[in-house]
Structure 1
């Protein structure tokens, strides 16, 4: 989403072409069209829009190095109502190589079981998946010798059109059949009927578990293999980013016979709500957010990957830290809270001045958006926002403003809509309202919006979002101290889902992910050095070993963290893990673990933010270091090398 009208004052430079707004155009009415044209430059998306003849025209142009010439005509025909224009800024010869031309992707649906663990449940539903077969060998012999299956996992959002950089930059090199599977309860893959107002009963979310998702993917993969008579020796590599990256790791660890390797991109596998890992390491998320503010502000180094520990007034992080501390002192008194409200133009000062708790909420709120800017710094249209906002902050400080006033000026710069009566709309949300008693709601059908699905996953299985991470408020960050109380979090969960909410129970493989990774192997962990979610990921074998040795996946129980009471249940995780490892004791993966040769690989994109592997907008994006594309290829090479063990095992077994 566009953030500022300033972007319209001059054309935004794009990889091959530029989009220019006609004089007098209205930003509100043209935003959607502009975004469409922005995407139009990326052939991976455009190739599935418009008529077949338009699609073929664009593909043919890209294949013959005439992309820029063809782009204007394509977008004019595909979007005739647009008042925007595409203007060439470079010759066709200068245009960078387009990684996706046409992979013959076809969308299908698969009749999926509602419950894979209950044989008496006979209901089924239609799950969306795509197959792209243009790079895959055509004969069974070639497939067995050199073919690979890429299985890309959908996230907590619609899957959309196939366009993932790490997939389509490398599929031809690896002769890969690409299978993309939408996650149950997201996009069009809703396993239970929705009501007329697009809601469903909270009780109908009971089949939203990672265990079910892993079985879904395995079932789709079996279907594709059988439907296309793919030889059993062809290995499958499972991939995903962010939450999907966590899922990719879990697929490999739970079903190593089906998924020969995994690429877990930007996967915060240690941020599992209710575990000691979550309690101990959440602050790393906020530390990297602060590093990102400095590195991307350009205040210290031209190397965007350099981390700054400078907390002086010359650094973005330093000014933000000083401003947060200044606010923290002022909100301790009514007079100080009034001063804060005045500095930030709060619309209803009473919302802020009433209590210390209100002041603490405000103190957190005025800097929390930087988590988003840090996470998405490499993604249009957030490219450059960290530099822009930090520039405003530091300029105010250079002009003599104290840290809080500088933060207030930056906040107004971001939020002010230009109206004469603009003010900062702050509302204090009290956590003191007690939930209704279970007896009052046991018989009531609770309806929730489908957007609540991921929150349900957080509440029941320990998936995590930035709002439920601990912040210690150290000098390494600019966030205030905040205790993400497990008890308070679960109370919020109960208020939304009430009696239909199962008890929080992170699956055994989430809690023991470090030990399982070492034992099973075959995983590639990737992430950006300036991605806050890298705080919950691993960048080296030493990181994995340290997590395994700490026992950090153990559940927080009575008085396990601050004042949290025992609030989560325990399954037979240890026993299941032992049975799981024993089940594959004869496999090469387990044998490798026994000899200390567990196969893990790590790729860190220096200076990158979130999902440098999998995000739509990383195709030839402006300013992207060539090394990132090379590292994506390296990550896939690691995974395919791991997966070759599957091909060798199957061949040996059939030969014997």
Structure 2
């Protein structure tokens, strides 16, 4: 009995630490655990054990650096038929979870085409630790370019290990890994015979006000009342900042961990950004099928939140907005709402792998500063969440968390360099499909129209982030069903094409 009890205590301590650690649950479009979450394996579902590539290179672009590290991967060869393809699931900004080795649309395709399925965890996430800690000095080896080179190095190894020298390879990825899937096909075409790039933001952009533009459009699908009520609530919040009495009421209604300092614009940005995040998170994953992953909060939808905002029996729009916040806090076990800037910066500066920041928030924020931007600011003029979390709120974090040299001009230069390297909206690529959902805010940075006859876009009305990757269900809209069918057809055509 001792071992299970120890396990339960450790789980409890981890949960308590995550609850009281002030790192936003939803930061720059990334929930804790990554864009696809950090799902729990359903009880009784067998999954493949982890395997390790022992000799991954630390720096693929410095011939004088001969350091290596252990990278985690998973394999499912249950459906493999001799001569069948390799299906590669690319890991992203969270732990690689083996439940994906037995569930999801790509496993259906693996059965169909007799493929061996392998998933490689992204460097610096999950258990794939190339360096002793997450110091700024060590983070210099974290980049999408290094990650793509990791894939090539790993495939060379995997082909030899499994005696698959000429088998065709199809890459899969959703969200940032979807971008990696497309970029891998573009930059390493000799390794990839076709790529599925689901919900892939392929255009880097510092300010991303389009995110809230899509969120605002999603609110309108429930009618105009929801957005109007949110605007009324946030306008009231802003006006109440000027009085000690009304600030105290806000602190009570939103269960804030600290008293409001109305002169601290960064704290105010955190407060308004976090309460907007309640809607952003739900809309990004609205009505997806993550339930098989054990994901928390999948029963909360846009209809749920707008149902609260439109319920006049709950009182004023401000009270309803606070009720939404209470629902989200209760769902995720939060005792109070943290929003202060100094606490967030302090936690994000943690460099230990076991820290709250080491879960992935520190790494992903670094990648946004060093490569992508994608800061979901309040700069879209028609959104209802206030204009109190502007672009500068995110830009200043790059300097305060990592290094003063990561100033705004440097971030802009980094983003320009990313688009130059990968092609941005002008990417030249073949044998790739870009599925995107209309409700997913990330589609604004992706490909929603065909680039060419060999670079296909699938735009799925009414679906959210990475919807086509999840297991099919009876209530799926017809466009989603058709998207999975089209992806299967494209895979078949790529596999039949002579190299």
TM-score (norm 1): 0.59
Shift of 1:168: 0.2
Tell me, yes or no, if structure 1 residue 608 matches structure 2 residue 463: yes
Please show how residues 211-610 of structure 1 align to structure 2 within 5 Å: 211-232=145-166, 234-270=167-203, 272=204, 277-279=205-207, 282-293=208-219, 295=221, 300=222, 310-311=223-224, 315-331=225-241, 333-334=242-243, 337-338=246-247, 341=250, 344=253, 350-353=259-262, 359=268, 361-377=270-286, 378=288, 379-380=290-291, 381-386=296-301, 387-395=303-311, 397=312, 399=313, 401-415=315-329, 425=337, 427-429=339-341, 447-449=351-353, 450-451=358-359, 452-462=362-372, 464=374, 468-478=375-385, 480=387, 482-485=389-392, 489-498=394-403, 504=411, 505-506=414-415, 508=417, 510-511=419-420, 513-514=422-423, 519-541=428-450, 597=452, 599-610=454-465
> 1:446 touches 1:500 (CA, 8 Å); kept in 2?
no
C-alpha spacing 1:231/1:447, structure 2 compared with 1 (3 Å)? closer
Matched, 1:188 2:121: no
For the residue of structure 2 that corresponds to 1:117, the secondary structure is: coil
CA contact (8 A) 2:379 2:391 kept: no
* CA deviation after TM superposition for structure 1 residue 37, in Å: 12
Provide the C-alpha distance between the structure 2 equivalents of 1:524 and 1:320, rounded to a whole number of angstroms.
Answer: 36
- The answer on whether the counterparts of 2:272 and 2:388 sit within 8 Å (CA) in structure 1 is no
Do the aligned residues in 1 keep the contact of 2:171 with 2:192 (CA within 8 Å)?
A: yes
The answer on whether the counterparts of 1:203 and 1:501 sit within 8 Å (CA) in structure 2 is no
Residue deviations 1:179-215 (CA, integer Å, cap 9, x gap): 21111112222122x3xxxx44331222112211111
Distance change in 2, residues 1:336/1:292 (3 Å):
farther
Which one of the candidate residues 200, 203, 208 is aligned to 2:142? 208
> Which of 66, 76, 95 matches 1:158?
95
CA drift at 1:292: 3.5
SS in 1 for 2:391: coil
Q: Is the contact between residue 352 and residue 426 of structure 1 (CA under 8 Å) also seen in structure 2?
A: no
Deviation at 1:642, TM superposition (A): 4.0
- CA deviations on 1:323-372 (whole Å, 9 max, x unpaired) are 223334444x3378548627726568852555676555534433322111
Classify 1:474/1:639 alpha carbon distance in 2 versus 1 (closer, same or farther; 3 Å). farther
Return the TM-score normalized by structure 2. Answer: 0.76
Q: RMSD of the alignment, in Å?
A: 3.9
Higher relative contact order (CA 8 A, sep 6+): 2
The number of residue pairs the alignment matches comes to 442
Which secondary structure does the structure 2 equivalent of 1:179 belong to? strand
Q: Distance in 1 between matches of 2:161 and 2:266?
A: 60
For 1:351 and 1:515, locate their aligned partners in 2 and report how far apart those are by CA, in whole Å: 41
Do the aligned residues in 2 keep the contact of 1:152 with 1:240 (CA within 8 Å)?
yes
Tell me which residue corresponds to 1:632: 484
Q: Structure 1 residues 136 and 507, CA, compared in 2 at 3 Å: closer, same or farther?
A: farther
Structure 1 residue runs without a partner (length 5+): 1-27, 50-104, 301-309, 434-444, 545-596, 651-656
